[in-house]
């Protein structure tokens, strides 16, 4: 395992670099949603209809002020609306607009086409193994970070 960890770190660096390349290519398209906004728009769409910004911050793991600025940008692009919370007259909830849903669908199709081209010569077994491994990896990182946060809180 000792030799594998640095190699995985190198591969993770490569993945981050390729992710930036995808972001740059997608952003170069005239109608593209910036990737950071796309990720948050996807999160809003996955949350129960009428979720609050604080729920979005928790779900996305981002600072509430970062989420607030991103939501403002999504609203200004017409991708999300803030609607009155029916249970709390002082609060608003986030709702993805029809324009936002169309932008999500377009962006997801672009990524699917790009991934399909990149993985065209992979066998079904290779694809399944990669998907399982990537899922397990992201869960393990999430657990490791959560455990680290818990340990740091306990030490304080």
pTM (2 d.p.): 0.75
Asked whether residue 78 falls in the same domain as residue 1, the answer is no
Counting residues of the chain whose pLDDT is more than 90, the rounded percentage is 49
Asked whether residue 91 falls in the same domain as residue 110, the answer is yes
Asked whether residue 17 falls in the same domain as residue 77, the answer is no
The range of the structural domain enclosing residue 101 comes to 32-121
Distance CA 71, CA 130 (A): 33
Distance CA 78, CA 124 (A): 39
Asked whether residue 127 falls in the same domain as residue 116, the answer is no
Q: What is the chain's mean pLDDT, rounded? A: 87
pLDDT, one tens digit per residue, over 20-54 is 898 888 877 766 677 778 888 998 998 877 788 88
**Section 113-133 average pLDDT:** 96
Asked whether residue 65 falls in the same domain as residue 126, the answer is no
Asked whether residue 91 falls in the same domain as residue 51, the answer is yes
Asked whether residue 105 falls in the same domain as residue 70, the answer is yes
CA–CA distances in Å: residue 132 to residues 66, 81, 129, 156? 31, 36, 5, 36
Domain containing residue 99: CATH number: 1.10.10.10
Which two three-digit tokens encode residue 88? 């709390």
Asked whether residue 106 falls in the same domain as residue 129, the answer is no
Asked whether residue 114 falls in the same domain as residue 37, the answer is yes
Give the pLDDT of residue 31. 65
Asked whether residue 15 falls in the same domain as residue 40, the answer is no
What residues have CB less than 8 Å from 51, skipping those under 6 apart? Answer: 44, 93, 94
Asked whether residue 40 falls in the same domain as residue 111, the answer is yes
Counting residues of the chain whose pLDDT is more than 70, the rounded percentage is 92
Give the pLDDT of residue 76. 93
């Amino acid at each position: 395992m000792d030799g594998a960890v640095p190699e995985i770190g190198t591969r993770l660096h490569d993945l981050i670099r390729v992710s930036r390349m995808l972001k740059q290519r997608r952003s170069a398209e005239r109608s593209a949603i910036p990737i950071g906004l796309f990720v948050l728009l996807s999160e809003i769409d996955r949350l129960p209809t009428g979720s609050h910004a604080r729920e979005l911050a928790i779900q996305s793991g981002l600072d509430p002020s970062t989420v607030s600025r991103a939501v403002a940008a999504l609203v200004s692009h017409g991708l999300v609306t803030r609607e009155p919370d029916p249970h709390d007259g002082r609060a608003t909830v986030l709702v993805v607009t029809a324009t936002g849903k169309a932008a999500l669908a377009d962006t997801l199709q672009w990524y699917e086409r790009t991934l399909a081209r990149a993985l065209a010569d992979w066998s079904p077994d290779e694809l399944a193994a990669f998907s399982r491994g990537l899922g397990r990896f992201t869960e393990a990182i999430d657990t490791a970070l959560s455990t680290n946060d818990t340990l740091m809180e306990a030490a304080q």
